[in-house]
Amino acid sequence: MKYKFITIEGNIGAGKTTLAHLLSKKLNARLILEEFADNPFLPKFYENPDQYAFPLELFFMAERYKQLKELIHTSDLFQTVTVSDYLFTKCLLFAKVNLRSEEFRLYQKLFDIIHQQLLHPDILIYLHAPVKKLQENIRRRKREYEQSIPDEYLFDIQETYISYIKQHNMKTLFIDASNADFLGNEKQVEVIVHALQQDYSNGQHYFSLP
């Protein structure tokens, strides 16, 4: 495998965690999953975003930092590849959407201090799906606190991700996930595994799923 640290990103409901599980099995890779269920502010945020956005984002940043920091200090002779279902920069992207300007400035200062201490992925897989598909996936996984997420919020997150990817010249497999069904269509996972065996220049490389 050419890439030792593979990160998967995408909007809420894009299929990041499902793909991360499947890729880790295919590649015999160490798996790092976002522990969103441990964030006590998440259900409260969806009920009252203005009040709980800042503690929500601080908690997420602390937990993501703890997970990824351990990656630097641990090694596994039998698992030389790591697959993660989030990019640490996700902290900043969601904070940009969720926080008021003065809160975001403070948050960004903390982020900049922490970010430089972490390993950066060798390649990013970005799953891009239309909001209608995202909402279908969100309804299907039946997390109660997510069921009222408005389309406008998903559009804002989507635009923030795309803007970041276009502005930063990291190696990115930009995958059209409009018809993604990673559990039901093994060929889709095989396409991504094959793509990960190729050499890429920095920038975005676009793929469609069968």
At the top level of CATH, the class of 5-186+195-208 is alpha beta
CA–CA gap between residue 107 and residue 129 (Å, rounded): 28
DSSP state, 173? E
What pTM was computed for the model?
0.94
> Positive or negative CA dihedral for 73, 75, 80, 81?
negative
93-127 pLDDT, tens per residue?
Answer: 999 999 999 999 999 999 999 999 998 999 999 99
C-alpha–C-alpha distance, residues 58 and 61, integer Å = 5
Residue position matching structure tokens 């930063």: 168
| Contact in structure between 28 and 81 (CB atoms under 8 Å) | yes
Q: 3-class DSSP state for residue 171? A: strand
Alpha carbon distance, N-terminus to C-terminus of the chain: 23
196, 7 in Cβ contact below 8 A?
no
Task: Beginning with the edge strand found earlier in the chain, give each strand of the sheet holding 30-32 in spatial order.
Answer: 30-32, 82-84, 5-10, 123-128, 171-176, 203-208
> Residue 60 CB: number of other CB atoms within 10 A?
22
In terms of Cα–Cα distance, which of 186, 201, 193 is closest to 210? 186
Task: Determine the Cα–Cα distance for residues 189 and 77; give it in Å rounded to an integer.
Answer: 25
Q: Which residues pair with 32 in a beta bridge?
A: 84
Question: What residues are labeled active site?
Answer: 85
Question: How confident is the model at residue 71, as a pLDDT?
Answer: 79
- Tokens standing for 127? 């799953």
- Spell out the per-residue pLDDT of the chain, length 210, in tens: 789 999 999 999 999 999 999 999 999 999 999 987 788 999 999 999 999 999 999 999 999 999 998 877 776 655 789 999 999 999 999 999 999 999 999 999 999 999 999 989 999 999 999 999 999 999 999 888 899 999 999 999 999 999 999 999 899 999 999 999 999 999 999 999 999 999 999 999 999 999
- Tell me the two tokens of residue 66: 């703890």
With H, G, I as helix, E, B as strand and everything else as coil, classify residue 42.
Answer: helix
For 11-24, how does the pLDDT look when each residue is reduced to its tens digit (9 = 90+)? 999 999 999 999 99
